[in-house]
Structure 1
Amino acid sequence: MSDAIMPGWSVETLHDDYRQSLREDRVLYDSATEHQRLRVIENPRFGRVLTLDGVVQVTEGDEFIYHEMMAHVPILAHGEAKRVLIIGGGDGGMAREVLRHRSVEHVTMVEIDAGVVEFSKKYLPAISDGAFDDPRLDLVIADGADFVRQTDRRFDVIISDSTDPIGPGEVLFTDTFYGHVRGLLTGHGIFATQNGVPFMQPEELRGTMRAFKALFRDATCYLATVPTYAGGPMAFGWGAMGEGRHVALDELERRYAAAGIETRYYTPAVHKAAFALPGYVAKLLD
């Protein structure tokens, strides 16, 4: 399957032996930056879709699943998160969800490519939904790996909202990067990562879990199903300095109610269930 025989379709190229495609009703943006090729298309089911180097990154239709699960699970598990670091996330969706927590006092967002932020504001404004204008957000244009190595700041929750481990995102999946992140976490801090679809990318999760088990008191992953990240449920790496994963359901419900937020995918019950892993995923953690 190729673009040549499917005109009018965007064909993803992440996997060598598997392709998914989205119909292009319109191409709104197509340009190469210093780091990557950015495209925004419109699809009748998923709305506006951002691809980087041919790989789907975010869609207006299903982004809420990814962003809610990556933001609210660690923040509500922590219970007292005031300072949050987001690495990547140039579309602003992760910042949007994190900043919905009134208890969060400061968010540092480190994005390597200023071009991603600028065109997201223009072409995908519904995803950030004003997050870039929140005075609690400190946007830093820098390499995330360099930032965590050099900063002396400390954070209660760190979220690595990276691309896949190819190109600029590759350094965000190394033992060295994870080690530096661990050094930035406060007492019972939590680190969450994007770890791809385990059925299609088992080595990605296996490598992260091997590193996490050497670094964190509690190392595992949790799952969510995001339609455009095809091939099965998506994994989020979980590295915690404390026992946040084991917060009781009734306490999560209390924290969720106190936060006063409305979500479309996340619920406290889904939060707890997301850590129940299918056998093939659990084996990758061994």
Structure 2
Amino acid sequence: MTEWVTEALHDGLRSSFRADRVLYRRPVGQQDLVLYENPKFGRMLALDGVTQVTEADEFIYHEMLTHVPLLAHGEVRSVLIVGGGDGGMLREVVRHRSVERVTMVEIDEGVVTFSQEYLPKVSDGAFDDPRLDLVIADGAEFVRDTERTFDVIIVDSTDPVGPGEVLFTDHFYGHARRRLNPGGVLVTQNGVPFLQGAELTGTMRAFGQLFADRTCYLATVPTYVGGPMAFGFGTDDKSLRRVAVETLADRYRKAGLSTRYYTPEVHRAAFALPGYVQELLDAA
């Protein structure tokens, strides 16, 4: 019989993906981890039915959460990735030749091993990059305790339930702020604001206490239902979200990038927010 993986993350809404072939399944605590093949999205990884990553559209999420802060900053040498065990964020960061060191903190080494074996297209060899410092530790504890500082911090977290919940707290954001170099940028994934508005408002409220400038930008990822995703953007340099398209294009060209979703024009447009999203920011 055909199996369907059903996601019920949002109250009153369910979405299902057909699993033509289940490649891996095991319980994780009280949750169910399943890797399967779908005719539209290729290999898909779901935790308790909630889609984590797909081969077909992961590039949108990873490109936008990486290239927007790095190209807005323009002189990034050091990057911290919190989470991101599938390696997609790492893949995009190491494409920037100016980056000298990437520290990636993943709580579960098994996630990295699993992803390299079953989702090798996502990392595309990035774990072999000599600039990588892979740390297996709790991301919140690492950010609290480390003495290192970074130009950009990327929080590639799951939704704020279970182990990922701590990465959405005021304490975590405060520690992350202290690990940024002057003019640095903190970016976060904040779900789909049409369905998860409180998540975005909570992050923006914390950012408002920590940064001279805080906002979010948007990108549409097909498998994350409910409209565009929001990415939190916090910095003390108010000019960074208004970098000219011509400047972004020059930085993009010098970096030698080739992307499938990100463009300098999309970068600038992503900060133009619909009214309902701006209302969530205003509420913060």
CA contact (8 A) 1:33 1:115 kept: no
Q: CA deviation at 1:192?
A: 0.5
Map Cα deviations across residues 250-286 of structure 1 (whole Å, 9 max, x no partner).
1101000101110000000000000000000000001
Q: Which residue of 2 aligns with 1:257?
A: 253
Equivalences for 1:64-75 in 2 at 5 Å? 64-75=59-70
Q: CA deviation at 1:38?
A: 2.4
Given the alignment of the two structures, is residue 100 of structure 1 paired with residue 100 of structure 2, yes or no? no
Q: Which residue of 2 aligns with 1:247?
A: 243
Deviates more, 1:9-18 or 1:218-227: 9-18
Q: Which residue of 1 aligns with 2:147?
A: 152
Distance across 1 between alignment mates of 2:251 and 2:233: 20
Equivalences for 1:213-224 in 2 at 5 Å? 213-224=208-219
Q: CA deviation at 1:16?
A: 2.2
Distance across 2 between alignment mates of 1:276 and 1:91: 30
CA contact (8 A) 2:96 2:257 kept: yes
Q: CA deviation at 1:115?
A: 1.5
Distance across 2 between alignment mates of 1:106 and 1:75: 13
Map Cα deviations across residues 102-159 of structure 1 (whole Å, 9 max, x no partner).
1101000011111111110010000000011111111111111100000000000000
Distance across 1 between alignment mates of 2:158 and 2:131: 24
Given the alignment of the two structures, is residue 210 of structure 1 paired with residue 201 of structure 2, yes or no? no
Map Cα deviations across residues 59-92 of structure 1 (whole Å, 9 max, x no partner).
0000000000000000000000010000000100
Determine which of 62, 75, 87 is the counterpart of 1:80: 75
Distance across 2 between alignment mates of 1:218 and 1:186: 15
Q: Which residue of 2 aligns with 1:3?
A: none
Q: CA deviation at 1:247?
A: 1.1
Distance across 2 between alignment mates of 1:72 and 1:232: 21
CA contact (8 A) 2:5 2:19 kept: yes
Q: Which residue of 2 aligns with 1:29?
A: 24
Distance across 2 between alignment mates of 1:90 and 1:36: 18
TM-score normalised according to structure 1 size: 0.96
Q: Which runs of 4+ in 1 moved over 6 A?
A: none
Given the alignment of the two structures, is residue 285 of structure 1 paired with residue 258 of structure 2, yes or no? no
Equivalences for 1:49-60 in 2 at 5 Å? 49-60=44-55
Distance across 2 between alignment mates of 1:217 and 1:37: 41
CA contact (8 A) 2:2 2:18 kept: no
Letter in 1 for 2:85: G
Distance across 2 between alignment mates of 1:154 and 1:35: 36
Q: Which residue of 2 aligns with 1:132?
A: 127
TM-score normalised according to structure 2 size: 0.97
Distance across 1 between alignment mates of 2:31 and 2:90: 22
Determine which of 171, 175, 179 is the counterpart of 2:174: 179
Q: CA deviation at 1:32?
A: 2.8
Given the alignment of the two structures, is residue 167 of structure 1 paired with residue 158 of structure 2, yes or no? no
Q: CA deviation at 1:34?
A: 5.9
Given the alignment of the two structures, is residue 225 of structure 1 paired with residue 220 of structure 2, yes or no? yes
Equivalences for 1:191-206 in 2 at 5 Å? 191-206=186-201
State how many pairs are aligned.
281
Three-state SS of the structure 1 residue aligned to 2:70 is helix
Give the percent of matched residue pairs that are identical in Structure 1 and Structure 2. Answer: 69
Three-state SS of the structure 2 residue aligned to 1:49 is strand
Deviates more, 1:133-142 or 1:168-177: 133-142
Q: CA RMSD in A?
A: 1.2
Gaps in structure 1 of 5+ consecutive residues = 1-5
CA contact (8 A) 1:35 1:113 kept: no
Q: CA deviation at 1:21?
A: 0.8
Letter in 1 for 2:19: E
CA contact (8 A) 2:8 2:50 kept: yes
Map Cα deviations across residues 172-231 of structure 1 (whole Å, 9 max, x no partner).
000000000000000100010000000010000000000001101110000000000010
